[in-house]
């Protein structure tokens, strides 16, 4: 139903970047499945004039190892993809907040910031620090580089003095949600794909349990995609700080096309620290 809008955006884009979610190098349930990526690339590739960039930087482990473990190299051959490890990417600095609301500087991937058409493809998961992670958090946090793997390392800087930017944003629950919202406002996310064939509940985004939800969500509005995923997981938007700060609480459901989504709501098990982290204000 939004094919025309997608095609128009792709044909006018010089840089098309697909950002999967591989938070861990070797836990499939925590990461975007190769079948979901294959379906997306099969859909968009006829309309892309330039080489499609597949870009990710793992939170735990090595990005290239993750690509190998999850079968992404087969897609590189099939679609002639350019693979980018965001943990080794060039970066720009973005101001975020520390625990005392002082401004600090984080390093963020130029590949994501400079993309004309950025696509997030992830799976809906509960999260042990912000309750939910999906389309928006995938690009907002996933674009933070690890300097000891990145440009700083190439410049010969002292590794012991470098900070891991993915950890740097974790400045307590209120600041963390503010920081995710701030980072996302620098990004032009054009298309959000949430592969809900298998979702994660409990102690996500890595160590949770599988929920066979069997749905997919696609939207050119990332807030709408995450809003719907949260509702399907029976998670209140007002409990998700960064989504509330970005205005997801103001969304209505009149735009949804397909089977009545309310028939597919599943009460996902929340993280053990749910009562603490829902108090994000």
- In this prediction, residue 157 carries a pLDDT of 46
pLDDT tens-digit map of 35-83 = 999 999 999 999 999 999 999 999 999 999 999 999 999 999 999 999 9
Give percent of the chain above pLDDT 90.
84
**pLDDT-based confidence at 250, cuts 50/70/90?**
confident
Neighbour order of strands in the sheet with 209-211: 131-133, 125-127, 199-201, 209-211
> Taking the mean position of all CA atoms in its chain, how far away is CA 161?
28
- Pairwise CA distance, residues 170 & 151, whole Å: 22
Taking the model in full, what pTM does it have?
A: 0.94
Q: Which domains does the chain have, with CATH numbers?
A: 3-277 (3.40.50.11440)
- Pairwise CA distance, residues 210 & 193, whole Å: 19
- In this prediction, residue 249 carries a pLDDT of 86
CA-nearest of 219, 130, 222 to 175 is: 130
Helix (H, G, I), strand (E, B) or coil at 242: helix
Cβ atoms of 122 and 200 within 8 Å: the answer is no
Give the mean pLDDT of 121-135: 98
**pLDDT-based confidence at 153, cuts 50/70/90?**
very low
In angstroms, what CA-CA distances link 158 with 63, 107, 148, 161? 22, 16, 9, 6
The one-character DSSP state at 170 is -
Cβ atoms of 235 and 131 within 8 Å: the answer is yes
């Amino acid at each position: 139903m939004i094919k025309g809008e997608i095609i128009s955006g792709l044909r006018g884009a010089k840089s098309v970047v697909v950002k999967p979610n591989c938070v861990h190098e070797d836990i499939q349930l925590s990461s975007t499945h190769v079948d979901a990526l294959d379906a997306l690339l099969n859909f968009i590739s006829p309309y892309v004039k330039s080489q499609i960039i597949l870009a990710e930087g793992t939170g735990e482990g090595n990005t290239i190892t993750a690509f190998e473990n999850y079968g992404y190299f087969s897609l590189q051959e099939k679609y002639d993809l350019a693979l980018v490890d965001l943990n080794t990417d060039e970066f720009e600095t973005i101001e975020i907040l520390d625990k005392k609301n002082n401004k600090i500087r984080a390093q963020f991937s130029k590949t994501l910031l400079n993309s004309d058409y950025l696509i997030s493809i992830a799976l809906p998961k509960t999260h042990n620090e912000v309750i939910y992670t999906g389309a928006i958090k995938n690009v907002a946090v996933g674009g933070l580089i690890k300097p000891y793997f990145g440009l700083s390392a190439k410049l010969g800087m002292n590794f012991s003095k470098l900070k891991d930017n993915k950890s740097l944003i974790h400045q307590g629950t209120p600041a963390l949600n503010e920081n995710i919202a701030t980072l996302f406002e620098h990004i032009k996310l054009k298309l959000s794909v949430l592969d809900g064939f298998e979702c994660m509940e409990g102690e996500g985004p890595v160590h949770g349990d599988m929920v066979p939800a069997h749905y997919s969500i696609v939207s050119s509005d990332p807030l709408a995609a995450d809003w719907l995923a949260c509702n399907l997981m029976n998670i209140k938007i007002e409990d998700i700080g960064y989504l509330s700060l970005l205005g997801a609480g103001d969304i209505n459901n009149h735009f949804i096309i397909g089977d009545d989504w309310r028939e597919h709501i599943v009460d996902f098990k929340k993280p053990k620290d749910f009562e603490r982290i829902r108090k994000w204000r």
